[in-house]
């Protein structure tokens, strides 16, 4: 049984550190500066709701699959530890400990999903602002004085 627990923790650590995009974005953007705007890709309330229904669901919604797997794996770890401890110790203490562990993981998952959604949205907004755009529009001009037609192109460049 200890091999299963060690394997579970090793899997969770590898999954959590493999794609650490949120960790990088968290250093640049503070979730407390988030204000909702129309067209946001990730909605914090929706992310929190998904994590309420399934711990890690909000992280999956935000594209942080390894982070979501870490929460699912945390639940699996609590179940594995609980099942091994039921045989050896007082069942009442194990049930209380399991309930507290589930509650802490569940609340952490909901709060984390909301923060991940806010940070990822702020990162997407910054990326959209940094992108450059080029617009070419053909125009046909008429001058009244000489009855001359002029063809031109307007160029709008945004960096």
What pLDDT was estimated at residue 11?
65
Q: Which of 31, 33, 29, 35 is nearest to 126 (CA)?
A: 29
Q: Is the CB of residue 65 less than 8 Å from the CB of residue 19?
A: yes
Q: pTM of the prediction?
A: 0.67
What pLDDT was estimated at residue 154?
66
Tens of pLDDT, residue by residue, the chain (159 residues):
567 667 766 666 665 555 567 777 888 888 888 888 888 889 999 999 999 999 899 999 998 888 898 899 888 888 887 777 776 667 777 778 788 888 899 999 999 999 999 999 998 888 877 666 666 666 655 556 666 666 666 666 665
CB atoms within 10 A of CB 63: 15
CA distances to 42, 117, 128 from 36, rounded to whole Å, are: 10, 11, 16
What are the phi and psi torsion angles at 141 (to 5°)?
Answer: -105, 145
């Amino acid at each position: 049984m200890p091999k299963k627990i060690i394997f579970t923790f090793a899997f969770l650590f590898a999954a959590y550190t493999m794609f650490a995009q949120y960790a990088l974005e968290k250093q640049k953007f503070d979730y407390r500066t988030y204000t909702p705007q129309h067209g946001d890709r990730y909605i914090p309330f929706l992310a929190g709701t998904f994590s309420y229904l399934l711990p890690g669901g909000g992280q999956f919604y935000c594209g942080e699959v390894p982070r979501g797997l870490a929460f699912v794996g945390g639940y699996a770890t609590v179940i594995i530890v609980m099942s091994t401890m039921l045989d050896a110790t007082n069942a009442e203490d194990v049930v209380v400990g399991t309930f507290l562990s589930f509650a802490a993981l569940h609340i952490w998952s909901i709060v984390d999903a909301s923060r991940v959604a806010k940070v990822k949205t702020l990162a997407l907004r910054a990326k959209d602002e940094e992108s450059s755009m080029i617009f070419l529009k053909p125009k046909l001009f008429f001058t009244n004085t000489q009855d001359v037609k002029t063809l031109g192109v307007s160029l709008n460049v945004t960096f």
